[in-house]
C-alpha cells in the first residue's frame, strides 16, 4: 500500500532518484557511498509541476541536503525551478539567488557570501568591546580614588575643626574665668579654607553657669559672625576678635530659688516684666506665707535688677500683714476670722468697745454703747450682709498697737504680731530682690530686650568687636594708655 492509501500494486518498485553528486556504486545502507536522502524519495512521489501544498517559497532543507554545495538539485535531478532560490554553480538568475539567500538569513542560516566579511570585522568589533570595557574600568577606578580622597579630606577637615573648637573653648574659659567649660561649634565647610583666610564665618558658643553677682546665669548662648583669628589655626590660637555677636541670656528661676538662700521661696513669671515670689517663712513658731511682686528693669548695659512691691505676709486663717507705709500697708483680718466675729458675741462686743473701730463702722458713741449692751442691736450690726467685708477692710495694726488685749479677745496671738512688726520691709525686700550683672567683658557688649518667660528671665545679648585672649590684653593696654593720656592732658 502506498503512503496515500491507494490500492496500487505493492510490487511496483519505487523509483530511485539518482544523486548527481554521488558516483556509481551501491546505495544501500552500509555501502561505500553516502546514504540516500529520504527527502529525495518523497520529492520523487510528488507531481513534477506541482509545488507542495502550503509551500510559499524555497525549501530551506534543500540548502542543507548533501551535495548542495556543488550547485545540484536534490529533488528530481531535473535542475532548479522558478522560485527555488538555489542555483547551480554555472547557471544565471541573480534575483532568484538573492531571494533564496534572504530566505535563509530569515531562518538564521548565515550565507557563505557574507561569512568572510563578517569574519573580517570580528577583530574590529572585539577591539571596540575591549576599549569600552577598558574605559569603564578606568572610570570606575577614578571614581573610587576620588571618593576616597574626598573622604580623607572631609575627615581631616573635621578633625582640624574639632581641635580648633577645643582650643577656642579653653581661651573663652580663661578669659571669662568660668568654672564650667563652654561649648564652641565652628560651622562652615570646608574649615581649612577659612583657616587659610584667617577668618571664621560662623561660630556658635554656649557658656553655662556664668557668674553674675549673687547668682549665676544659667546659660549664655551666642551666635558670632566674622571671627578674626589671632595666631595660627589650628595648632596655636592666641586669641580672637568677634566681629558681630548676637545671643540670649537665661536666668533660670530654679537657680534663683537655690542661690538666693531662700529655698522656701519660689519665683514665677507674673507678666512680661513682672516676677512673682511665693513661699513660706517661719515666724514665731508659725509658717507665714510670703507673697511679693517684683518689677524687672535693666541696670546699665550689663545688669538686670528688680524693685519689690506689693509684698504681703499671710497667716492662714487669721490675718495678713503688709509691711510699709503705703495705703495698703497694715494688718487686716482674714475672712474666716471675720466670720467667726459675726457669731461670737463676746468678741464682737470687745471689737466695738474700741472707739476707733466703732467710728470706722460709722457708729456714734451712743450707738456703739447700745450695740455693746443690746443683743438685738449687736445682731443688727453683725448680721448685716456687708459686715464681713467691712471687717476685712479694717486696718487693725494701729488698733492692736494701742489695745494689745484685743488680739487675745478675737483669737490672735500677740507674739505673732510683734514678730511680724519686727520684720523690716527693706531687709525682706532685699532678700527677695534680684541684682544680676554679667562679668566685665572687653568690647562693646550690651543687654537688650529684657523680658520674663516661663522658665526665667531672658535678655538679648549683642556685641561688636569683642577681643579674647591676647587680643583682649592688647585692647586693655591700649585703653590704659588712652586713659593715661587723657589724665595727663587734664593735669596739664
Say whether both 83 and 55 belong to one domain: yes
Q: Bridge partners of 250? A: 219, 458
Nearest alpha carbon to residue 471 among 174, 225, 188, 247? 174
Last residue of a domain, one of 57, 89, 113: 113
User: What is the per-residue pLDDT for 359?
Assistant: 86
Q: Is 125 a member of any domain?
A: no
Say whether both 422 and 443 belong to one domain: no
Provide the pLDDT confidence category of residue 47 given band limits of 50, 70 and 90.
low
Say whether both 86 and 186 belong to one domain: no
Q: Is 130 a member of any domain?
A: no
Q: Is 134 a member of any domain?
A: no
Nearest alpha carbon to residue 388 among 434, 436, 351? 351
Say whether both 328 and 418 belong to one domain: yes
pLDDT, one tens digit per residue, over 205-254 is 888 877 766 667 777 888 888 888 776 655 566 777 888 888 888 888 87
Give percent of the chain with pLDDT exceeding 90. 0
Q: Is the pLDDT of residue 438 over 80?
A: no
Q: Is 66 a member of any domain?
A: yes
Question: Domain containing 287: what range?
Answer: 275-433
Counting runs of H as helices and runs of E as strands, what totals does the chain give?
16, 13
Q: pTM above the 0.85 mark? A: no
Q: Is 246 a member of any domain?
A: yes
Say whether both 330 and 310 belong to one domain: yes
Say whether both 237 and 297 belong to one domain: no
Say whether both 300 and 429 belong to one domain: yes
Last residue of a domain, one of 433, 454, 473: 433
Provide the pLDDT confidence category of residue 2 given band limits of 50, 70 and 90.
very low
Q: Is the pLDDT of residue 39 over 80?
A: no
User: What is the per-residue pLDDT for 72?
Assistant: 43
Say whether both 423 and 310 belong to one domain: yes
Residues sharing a CB contact under 8 Å with residue 432, sequence separation 6 or more, in sequence order = 260, 262, 265, 277, 290, 292, 294, 308, 311
Say whether both 428 and 464 belong to one domain: no
**How many domains is the chain partitioned into structurally?**
3
pLDDT, one tens digit per residue, over 173-201 is 877 777 888 888 888 888 888 878 888 88
**Cβ(277)–Cβ(267) under 8 Å?**
yes
Q: Is 191 a member of any domain?
A: yes
In the block, cell 530686650 appears at 449
C-alpha cell read off for 142:
577614578
Q: Is 7 a member of any domain?
A: no
Say whether both 280 and 343 belong to one domain: yes
Give percent of the chain with pLDDT exceeding 70. 64
Say whether both 407 and 309 belong to one domain: yes
Say whether both 472 and 376 belong to one domain: no
Q: Is 120 a member of any domain?
A: no
Amino acid at each position: 500500500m502506498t503512503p496515500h492509501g491507494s490500492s496500487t500494486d505493492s510490487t511496483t518498485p519505487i523509483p530511485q532518484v539518482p544523486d548527481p553528486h554521488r558516483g556509481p556504486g551501491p546505495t544501500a545502507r552500509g555501502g561505500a557511498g553516502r546514504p540516500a536522502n529520504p527527502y529525495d524519495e518523497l520529492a520523487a512521489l510528488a507531481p513534477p509541476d506541482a509545488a507542495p501544498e502550503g509551500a510559499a517559497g524555497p525549501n530551506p532543507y534543500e540548502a542543507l541536503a548533501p551535495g548542495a554545495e556543488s550547485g545540484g538539485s536534490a529533488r528530481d535531478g531535473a535542475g532548479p525551478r522558478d522560485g527555488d532560490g538555489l542555483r547551480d554553480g554555472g547557471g544565471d538568475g541573480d534575483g532568484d539567488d538573492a531571494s533564496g539567500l534572504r530566505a535563509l538569513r530569515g531562518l538564521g542560516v548565515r550565507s557563505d557570501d557574507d561569512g568572510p566579511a563578517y569574519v573580517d570585522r570580528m577583530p574590529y568589533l572585539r577591539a571596540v568591546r575591549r576599549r569600552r570595557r577598558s574605559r569603564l574600568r578606568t572610570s570606575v577606578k577614578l571614581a573610587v580614588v576620588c571618593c576616597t580622597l574626598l573622604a580623607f579630606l572631609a575627615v581631616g577637615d573635621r578633625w582640624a575643626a574639632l581641635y580648633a573648637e577645643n582650643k577656642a573653648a579653653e581661651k573663652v574659659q580663661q578669659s571669662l574665668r568660668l568654672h564650667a567649660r563652654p561649648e564652641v561649634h565652628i560651622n562652615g565647610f570646608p574649615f581649612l579654607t577659612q583657616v587659610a583666610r584667617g577668618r571664621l564665618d560662623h561660630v556658635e558658643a554656649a557658656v553655662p553657669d556664668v557668674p553674675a553677682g549673687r547668682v549665676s546665669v544659667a546659660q549664655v548662648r551666642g551666635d558670632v559672625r566674622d571671627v578674626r583669628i589671632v595666631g595660627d589655626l589650628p595648632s596655636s590660637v592666641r586669641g580672637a576678635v568677634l566681629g558681630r555677636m548676637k545671643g540670649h541670656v537665661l536666668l533660670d528661676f530654679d537657680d534663683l530659688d537655690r542661690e538666693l538662700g531662700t529655698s522656701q521661696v519660689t519665683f514665677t513669671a507674673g507678666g512680661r516684666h513682672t516676677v512673682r515670689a511665693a513661699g513660706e517663712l517661719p515666724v514665731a513658731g508659725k509658717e507665714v506665707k510670703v507673697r511679693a511682686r517684683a518689677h524687672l528693669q535693666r541696670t546699665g548695659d550689663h545688669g538686670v535688677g528688680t524693685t519689690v512691691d506689693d509684698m504681703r505676709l499671710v497667716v492662714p486663717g487669721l490675718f495678713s500683714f503688709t509691711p510699709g507705709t503705703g495705703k495698703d500697708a497694715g494688718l487686716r483680718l482674714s475672712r474666716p476670722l471675720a466670720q467667726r466675729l459675726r457669731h461670737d458675741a463676746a468678741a464682737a462686743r470687745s471689737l466695738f468697745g474700741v472707739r476707733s473701730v466703732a467710728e470706722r463702722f460709722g457708729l456714734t458713741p451712743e450707738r456703739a454703747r447700745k450695740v455693746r449692751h443690746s443683743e438685738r442691736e449687736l445682731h443688727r450690726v453683725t448680721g448685716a450682709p456687708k459686715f464681713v467685708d467691712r471687717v476685712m477692710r479694717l486696718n487693725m495694726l494701729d488698733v492692736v498697737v494701742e489695745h494689745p488685749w484685743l488680739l487675745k479677745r478675737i483669737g490672735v496671738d500677740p507674739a505673732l504680731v510683734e514678730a511680724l512688726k519686727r520684720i523690716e520691709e527693706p531687709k525682706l525686700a532685699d532678700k527677695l530682690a534680684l541684682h544680676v550683672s554679667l562679668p566685665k567683658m572687653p568690647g562693646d557688649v550690651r543687654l537688650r530686650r529684657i523680658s520674663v518667660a516661663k522658665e526665667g528671665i531672658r535678655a538679648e545679648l549683642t556685641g561688636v568687636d569683642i577681643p579674647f585672649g591676647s587680643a583682649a590684653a592688647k585692647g586693655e593696654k591700649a585703653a590704659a594708655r588712652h586713659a593715661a593720656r587723657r589724665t595727663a592732658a587734664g593735669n596739664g
